[in-house]
Amino acid sequence: MILTVTLNTALDITHRVPALRPGASHRVAEVAERPGGKGVNVARVIAALGHEATVTGFAGGLTGRLLREGLTATPGLTDALLPVSGTTRRTIAVVDELSGTTTQLNEPGPVVSPAEWQAFQEAYADLLAGAAAVALCGSLPPGVPVGAYAGLVRTARAAGVPVLLDTSGEPLRRGIAARPDILKPNADELAELTGSHEPSRATRDARRRGAGAVVTSLGPDGVLAVTSGGSWHATPPARLRGNPTGAGDSLVAGLLSGLVEHLPWPDRLARAVALSAATVLAPTAGEFDRAAYEELLRRTVVTNEAEAA
């Protein structure tokens, strides 16, 4: 079982409009509503790849109930979310069909009480006993300590469970010091962490700060990975237009599934990049175009950075 942690779950709502004009009224061509939050998206993709996935974190209120109802329809996915007295947030994505761009609106999430946070930590430790790997994903809701991910990383490492961290800001800065096995920032998050806007240098710097491996998402330019076994740059065969929401989460799913299958790093990265690109072609986060994925996987290029230099 692969465990994903989403402390700030969400009900993802995607609106598609012919063209987005600030300050104007719009007729929405299509609306999609799905369970969301980074780790939830990761788990859905992992389940679609044929692995058992368990989702934990918090859910509360009407949106929390709708989120949990949506999870029941996903084969291979187990709901281990904990109740919270507040109401789960919504995220709103507005897709401009003319330009192909997406505008994202993210609510802050419910306030988590000390008792709710303590209950989660106890449940998390129990879930790790059956986990082959764990992903810690996304933002922290109000009330959760800024060092929460650092503590969860240490708990996973003590249990002997490989852990991937995908967050930003101060939670990322503190979490990397706890030595996660894999860190998955994007280029902006990496620059904020290291102060460097040169991806290769910043990725190497981040690994020196404590991560076993750092896989930096470069958007349409693929990923850059620095590990104990080498450095690679994986790129999709073409730039794709579509909805990028959830593409980074599919990348995490590719990395984690490759980890538990003991794939070599180049194969993990090829899978991760192909899944990420195929997600851009799907209508909502947490999904990917399977036919496109299989074609992209065959054509994704993975370059050994040492040999390229």
More confident call, 198 vs 241: 198
Mean pLDDT of 175-189: 94
Residue 75: CB atoms within 10 Å: 8
pLDDT tens digit sequence for 120-135: 999 999 999 999 999 9
Max avg pLDDT among 51-65, 94-108, 245-259 = 51-65
- pLDDT tops 60 at residue 308: no
pLDDT above 80 for 241:
no
Higher pLDDT, 128 or 220: 128
pTM score: 0.90
pLDDT computed for residue 240 by the predictor = 67
Asked whether 236 and 296 are in contact (CB, 8 A), the reply is: yes
CA neighbor of 20 nearest in space, from 33, 29, 10 = 29
Q: b or e along 47-66 (b: 16 or more beta carbons within 10 Å of the residue's beta carbon)?
A: bbbebbbbbbbbbbbebbeb
Tokens 């006993």 label which residue?
A: 129
**Catalytic amino acids?**
249
Cα–Cα dist 262/246, whole Å: 24
If DSSP states are collapsed to H, E and C, what string results for the chain? CEEEEECCCEEEEEEEECCCCCCCCCCCCEEEEEEECHHHHHHHHHHHCCCCEEEEEEECHHHHHHHHHHHCCCCCEEEEEEECCCCCEEEEEEEECCCCCEEEEECCCCCCCHHHHHHHHHHHHHHHCCCCEEEEECCCCCCCCCCHHHHHHHHHHHCCCCEEEECCHHHHHHHHHCCCCEECCEHHHHHHHHCCCCHHHHHHHHHHCCCCEEEEECHHHCEEEEECCEEEEEECCCCCCCCCCCHHHHHHHHHHHHHHCCCCHHHHHHHHHHHHHHHHCCCCCCCCCHHHHHHHHHHCEEEEHHHHC
Buried b (16+ CB within 10 A) or exposed e, 127-156: bbeebebbbbbbbbbebbeebbbbebbbbb
Average pLDDT, the chain: 89
How many CB atoms sit inside 10 A of residue 218's CB? 17
pLDDT classification of 286: cutoffs 50, 70, 90: low
Place of tokens 């710097």: 205
- The amino acid that residue 207 corresponds to is R
Is the pLDDT at 204 greater than 50? The verdict is yes
- In this prediction, residues 159-183 reach a mean pLDDT of 96
Q: Cα Rg for the chain, rounded, in angstroms?
A: 18
**Tokens at 239, concatenated:** 């730039």
Instruction: Tell me the per-residue pLDDT of 11-36, one tens digit each, with 9 for 90 and over.
Output: 888 888 888 888 778 788 788 788 98
How far is 212 from 189, CA to CA, in rounded Å? 18
Q: Give the model's confidence band at 247: pLDDT under 50 very low, under 70 low, under 90 confident, else very high.
A: confident
Centroid of chain to Cα 299:
23
